[in-house]
């Protein structure tokens, strides 16, 4: 059990889901404190039948804290995480700031739970689009190896924050009412539209979001030889990232073997019945913790080629759920201070 648990960013959209997931997953702790910026400090949050006052995020707030689960922007994480680590806490960080630090394990509990043993006070949770892809690829890789991945993502506006969801709704109403949209979160109007850029230009025409999927997947799977090509697209969906994934394994698998691997994989729900029009869709998968897989096919021309469709709630498994699962690993394996 975690003796003293702190949640940073508790009043934010993902922080609120973290609190839900703590209860749903049964994360055991003795005491809990909620931390946030000066703007939110002093607010009351109802949790586990109690009204908890949000405390100011400052160095002394981490005194005697054992585990921190944090949902903050990168620049906030860069400042406060060292405060917590210096005071002996283990930080489960959902920001991108520490993900590629070689001293920081990047963990998905269904994929590389053993890597938490390598932590030096910080454990990073991956990018949402990377997380669902790697959870789905893991059973295939374990059974037959993995050589190549080509992925196209169709990412919900919630990946850009709560204000982006509001913008989608408002601009859709404006578009239908033949009024001018207001652009705040995106370079173009997202209403009834697709924007084929997420993140900034990174290298050779790829965006930062696309390269995150490459580098993070290599780190999580411990294999830099896997060839990965990603295209990331913002779509007018409120919650839930969708991905069209093509991969090539080292050894061939039959369609029956592939379906059985998905069916038995931890954290994966197989929804695959094309005849009856059953497949994962973001609206159906929202507010659920699993990674949903459907439209499973073998390549008609490449013996080791596999295509499938993958959907997951980016605020849950892509963020809050994964972070709380890491916290549960720490609790279950007694790595937190007793």
Find the helix packing angle between 321-332 and 13-25, rounded to 10°: 40
Chain mean pLDDT for the chain: 96
Q: Which is the catalytic residue, given 119, 232, 241, 310?
A: 241
pLDDT of residue 337: 44
Find the catalytic residue in 119, 128, 247, 310.
128
Q: Give yes or no: 241 in active site.
A: yes
- Strands 148-155 and 241-248 come out as antiparallel
What digits encode the pLDDT tens for the residues 129-187?
999 999 999 999 999 999 999 999 999 999 999 999 999 999 999 999 999 999 999 99
Distance (Å) of CA 164 to CA 10, 193, 201, 235: 19, 14, 21, 11
Which one of 3.30.360.10, 3.60.15.10, 3.40.50.300, 3.50.50.60 gives the CATH number of domain 130-314?
Answer: 3.30.360.10
Torsion angles phi and psi, residue 130, rounded to 5: -65, -45
Q: Give the pLDDT confidence score for residue 332 in this predicted structure.
A: 86
Reference 320, options 8, 84, 16; nearest CA is: 16
Domain range list for the chain: 2-126+319-332, 130-314
Orientation angle between helical segments 208-221 and 128-144, nearest 10 degrees: 40
pLDDT at 209: 98
Sign for the pseudo-dihedral over CA of 35, 36, 37, 38: negative
Tokens of 327: 């916290």
**188-207 pLDDT, tens per residue?**
999 999 999 999 999 899 99
What does the pLDDT read at residue 142? 98
Residue 27: partners with Cβ closer than 8 Å, 6 or more residues away = 2, 5, 21, 324, 327, 328, 331
The b/e string for 184-200 (b: 16+ C-beta within 10 A; e otherwise) is: ebbeebbbebebebbee
Q: Round to whole Å and give the CA distance between 298 and 29.
A: 45
The model's confidence at residue 336, banded by pLDDT at 50, 70 and 90, is very low
Residue 333 confidence (pLDDT) above 90 = no
Q: Is 242 helix (H, G, I), strand (E, B) or coil?
A: strand
Q: Is the pLDDT confidence value at 334 over 90?
A: no
pLDDT above 70 as % of the chain:
99
What was the pLDDT predicted at 221? 98
For 48-98, how does the pLDDT look when each residue is reduced to its tens digit (9 = 90+)?
999 999 999 999 999 999 999 999 999 999 999 999 999 999 999 999 999
**Longest Cα pair distance anywhere in the chain, in angstroms?**
61
Phi, psi of 56 (to 5 degrees): -70, 135
One of 1.10.10.410, 3.40.50.300, 3.40.50.720, 3.90.550.10 is the CATH number of 2-126+319-332, namely 3.40.50.720
Name residue, tokens 């209860």. 23
What per-residue confidence (pLDDT) applies to 338? Answer: 46
Query: What is the rounded CA–CA span in Å between residue 93 and residue 183?
Result: 30
Q: Are 33 and 4 in contact (CB under 8 A)?
A: yes
CA 220-231-148 angle, 5° bins: 50
> Which pLDDT tens digit goes with each residue over 288-328?
999 999 999 999 999 999 999 999 999 999 999 999 999 99
Residues 246, 307: contact at Cβ < 8 Å? yes
- The rounded distance, in Å, linking the Cα atoms of 150 and 232 is 11
Residue 221 is classified by DSSP as: H
pLDDT band at 1 (very low <50, low <70, confident <90, very high): confident
Q: Which two tokens stand for residue 11?
A: 């009043």
């Amino acid at each position: 059990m975690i003796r003293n648990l702190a949640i940073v960013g508790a009043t934010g959209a993902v922080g609120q889901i973290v609190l839900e997931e703590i209860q749903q997953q049964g994360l055991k702790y003795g005491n809990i404190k909620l931390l946030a910026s000066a703007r939110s400090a002093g607010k009351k949050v109802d949790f586990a039948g109690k009204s908890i006052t949000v405390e100011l995020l400052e160095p002394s707030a981490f005194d005697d804290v054992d585990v921190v689960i944090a949902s903050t922007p990168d620049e906030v994480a860069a400042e406060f995480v060292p405060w917590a680590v210096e005071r002996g806490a283990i930080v489960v960080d959902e920001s991108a700031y520490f993900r590629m630090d070689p001293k920081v394990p990047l963990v998905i509990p269904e994929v590389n739970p053993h890597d938490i043993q390598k932590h030096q006070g910080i454990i990073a949770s991956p990018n949402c689009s990377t997380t669902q892809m790697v959870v789905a690829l893991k059973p295939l890789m374990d059974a037959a190896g993995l050589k190549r991945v080509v992925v196209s993502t169709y990412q919900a506006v919630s990946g850009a924050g709560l204000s982006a969801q509001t913008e989608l709704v408002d601009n859709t109403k404006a578009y239908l009412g033949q009024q001018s949209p207001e652009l705040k979160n995106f370079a173009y109007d997202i209403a009834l539209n697709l924007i084929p850029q997420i993140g900034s230009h990174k290298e050779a025409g790829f965006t930062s979001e696309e390269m995150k999927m490459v580098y993070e997947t290599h780190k999580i799977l411990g294999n830099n030889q896997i060839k990965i090509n990603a295209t990331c697209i913002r779509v007018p969906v409120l919650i839930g990232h969708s991905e069209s994934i093509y991969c090539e394994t080292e050894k061939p698998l039959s369609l029956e073997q592939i379906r059985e691997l998905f069916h038995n994989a931890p954290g994966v729900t197989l929804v695959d019945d094309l005849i009856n029009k059953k497949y994962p869709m973001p609206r159906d998968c929202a507010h659920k913790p699993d990674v949903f897989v459907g439209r499973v096919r073998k390549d008609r021309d490449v013996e080791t080629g596999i295509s499938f469709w993958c959907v997951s709630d980016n605020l849950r498994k892509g963020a809050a759920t994964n972070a709380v699962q890491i916290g549960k690993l720490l609790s279950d394996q007694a790595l937190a201070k007793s």
